[in-house]
Amino acid sequence: MPFPAKHWIIVLFLVFVGLSSRAQWPVQVGDIFVANYGGNSVLKIDPSTMVQTRLATFATPTDLTLSPIGELFVAEWGGKIKRLDLKTGALTVVNPTRSIPQAWGIALSAAGDLYATSRSSNAVYRVSIATGEPTLVSRSNLIQGPIGLDILDEGHLVVASHMNDELVSVDVTNGTQTSIDGGQGVNEPWAVATRGAEVFVTGYDSKLIQRLTQGNLVELARAPGFPYGLDVAPDGSLVCASTGLADSIDRYDAQGNHLATFSGGMLKQVAGIAVSRFALCGLSIACPTDITARTCDPAGLVVEYPAPTVTGGCPPFTVDSTPSSGSTFPPGTNWVECAATDSAGNRATCSFRVAVTLDATPPSLTCPADVTIECGAATTPDITGTATATDAHDPNPTVTYTDTTTPGTCAGAKAIVRVWRAVDACGNSTTCTQTIGFREPTPAPVILGIQLAPDGELVVAFSGDPQGIAEFVFEEADSLSSVAIWQPMTPQPTIAEVEIGLFEARLAVNPQQPAGFYRILSPGQP
């Protein structure tokens, strides 16, 4: 809720709340949290009633930031960062073993990363909330006596470098520093606050409140005292804490017009301010998992997706997803942004990807090998071979073939050129070619004679295609009785050419069988 719109000073009623393990402080949108440096405390101020609530004691707190789940992180000048759970009142030290010298500015990213400036070390640190371990992000160079700190965008911080009059952008991934004020007269910058691409900054001696937008620095207002703390309220107004003849908190609109001043109570050298952008209801949203889809249409694909899951919050709440489920998603990577907003003004967001692939790739096709068959033999694929196809998106591409026959003397055909074609569900196609040749039938082997060689092997002489010998089965038996048991000889014969067109097969005879009987069976014989 905004501050009262009148330009007058209000002496705040003082409310003291002691810390206990059962304490709980409700939070509304617009509530102001104060790092009361001179009062060694942190306060919460209700902007509608101006009531101050003392939350806990801290040793010279310099700045603070509030998480969406109601955890207040407070930086102390001595180097400790403490966490105050507003739901339970529990107070813990985030970094019990590793202090950050002269910690001043503190900021919490949307991803949950905690950052802090160290004035004496001229450095910015990332502090693990889980372990308390500080990791150096960037040091020195443009950063000299850093004070204020805020999140500039997802990958950058903005730092008020007090000692060299610089506003510095810091890349959180590699520590790269970039001056963003362009030397336009930021004098001893102290506190910074951001709203989108806008950066607001206060000047220590000048007492100016300025706005930097796309490199353009504009003076908005002049604070009544040294402007130590600054934040942007959800309604776009600026909330600035200053110390001088009196300690006060002032509110200005986005154009720098002064709206209200209030002071008194426990305010004493306020060094940092955080304005709540949500109520303490723990609103969260979980997006569907990423979606991968395929389309044949260059215009894209209609994609239906499940609604995000919303938990917590102060009901009722609304959920918006852009693009909506059922929209047409073009080929490429598309992001869906989902947001949940509850009645208290809490807002939670998430996003997921819809990756649409335009299928313009034909299947992969492998043809069977070229073959030569006898004239008159069947030419169906079960005899001559079948092509196989695979596709990245279609598990069963269609495979067909067409034949072109070259006339000849061999059973009416000299050769067949068989063109195989594979087509996927999107109509993408590819072809390959197989050639089926013909030859005159090879005469079956003709047995010319059988004799026993001196070395004890049985020699069978024959003519014809030597491969045809495989069509015969050589058997042996130890008698010719009616119950003779014929067994195939093992191994079957080896073949050797003895003259052009004449071949012989040698079969080893069982040396333990003094007298044996042998026969040759051709296919079809009983």
What percent of the chain shows pLDDT beyond 90? 61
Q: Are 82 and 106 in contact (CB under 8 A)?
A: no
Pair of tokens at residue 304 = 């239906």
CA dist 165 to 43, 101, 183, 228, 371, Å?
30, 21, 8, 16, 84
Q: Are 26 and 260 in contact (CB under 8 A)?
A: no
Bridge partners, residue 200, by sequence: 193, 211
Edge-to-edge strands, sheet with 71-76: 61-66, 71-76, 81-85, 91-93
Please tell me the predicted confidence (pLDDT) of residue 316. Answer: 82
**Of 55 and 28, more confident:** 55
Query: Does 94 have pLDDT greater than 80?
Result: yes
Please tell me the predicted confidence (pLDDT) of residue 291. Answer: 97
- What is the spatial distance between Cα 154 and Cα 413, in angstroms, rounded to a whole number? 73
410 CA to centre of own chain: 64
CATH of domain 284-358: 2.60.40.10
Q: Are 507 and 516 in contact (CB under 8 A)?
A: no
Work out the angle at residue 489's Cα, subtended by the Cα atoms of residues 485 and 495, and round it to the nearest 5 degrees. Answer: 150
pLDDT confidence tier of residue 1, bands split at 50, 70 and 90: very low
CB atoms within 10 A of CB 514: 7
Taking alpha carbons only, the member of 229, 230, 225, 191 closest to residue 207 is: 225
- What is the spatial distance between Cα 275 and Cα 233, in angstroms, rounded to a whole number? 6
> Residue 429: what residue type?
S
What is the overall mean pLDDT for the chain?
A: 86
The domain made up of 446-521 has a fold known as Immunoglobulin-like (2.60.40)
Q: Is the dihedral of CA 408, 410, 413, 419 positive or negative?
A: negative
pLDDT digits (tens, 9 = 90+) for 136-170: 999 999 999 999 999 999 899 999 999 999 999 99
CA dist 388 to 363, 371, 385, 437, Å?
10, 17, 10, 21
Query: Which stretch of 13-27, 180-194, 305-319 has the lowest confidence by average pLDDT?
Result: 13-27
Q: Are 123 and 140 in contact (CB under 8 A)?
A: yes
Taking alpha carbons only, the member of 176, 188, 241, 207 closest to residue 34 is: 241
pLDDT confidence tier of residue 459, bands split at 50, 70 and 90: confident
Please tell me the predicted confidence (pLDDT) of residue 111. Answer: 87
**Of 264 and 476, more confident:** 264
Please tell me the predicted confidence (pLDDT) of residue 513. Answer: 59
Please tell me the predicted confidence (pLDDT) of residue 377. Answer: 85
Q: 14-275 and 364-439 share one CATH topology?
A: no
The domain made up of 14-275 has a fold known as Neuraminidase (2.120.10)
Please tell me the predicted confidence (pLDDT) of residue 11. Answer: 33
Mean pLDDT over residues 82-87, rounded? 91
* H/E element, 381: helix 381-384
Query: Which stretch of 18-22, 24-28, 459-463, 501-505 has the lowest confidence by average pLDDT?
Result: 18-22
CB-based burial label for 505 (10 Å; 0-12, 13-18, 19+): buried
Query: Scanning the structure block, which residue is given the tokens 């069509």?
Result: 471
Please tell me the predicted confidence (pLDDT) of residue 175. Answer: 96
The half-sphere exposure of 206 on its side-chain side, counting CA atoms within 13 A, is 18
pLDDT digits (tens, 9 = 90+) for 383-418: 999 999 999 888 999 999 999 988 876 756 778 999
Edge-to-edge strands, sheet with 208-213: 189-195, 198-203, 208-213, 216-222
Domain ranges of the chain: 14-275, 284-358, 364-439, 446-521
Q: Are 467 and 486 in contact (CB under 8 A)?
A: no
- Strand 32-36 and strand 309-311: pairing? unpaired
The domain made up of 364-439 has a fold known as Immunoglobulin-like (2.60.40)
Pair of tokens at residue 473 = 């089965």
Q: Rounded to 5, what percent of the chain is helix, strand, coil?
A: 5, 50, 45
Mean pLDDT over residues 174-188, rounded? 86
**Of 376 and 58, more confident:** 58
What percent of the chain shows pLDDT beyond 70? 90
Q: Are 304 and 326 in contact (CB under 8 A)?
A: yes
Please tell me the predicted confidence (pLDDT) of residue 8. Answer: 30
Q: Is the dihedral of CA 246, 251, 254, 255 positive or negative?
A: negative
CB-based burial label for 70 (10 Å; 0-12, 13-18, 19+): buried
Query: Which stretch of 22-36, 216-230, 260-274, 507-521 has the lowest confidence by average pLDDT?
Result: 507-521
Q: Are 193 and 230 in contact (CB under 8 A)?
A: yes
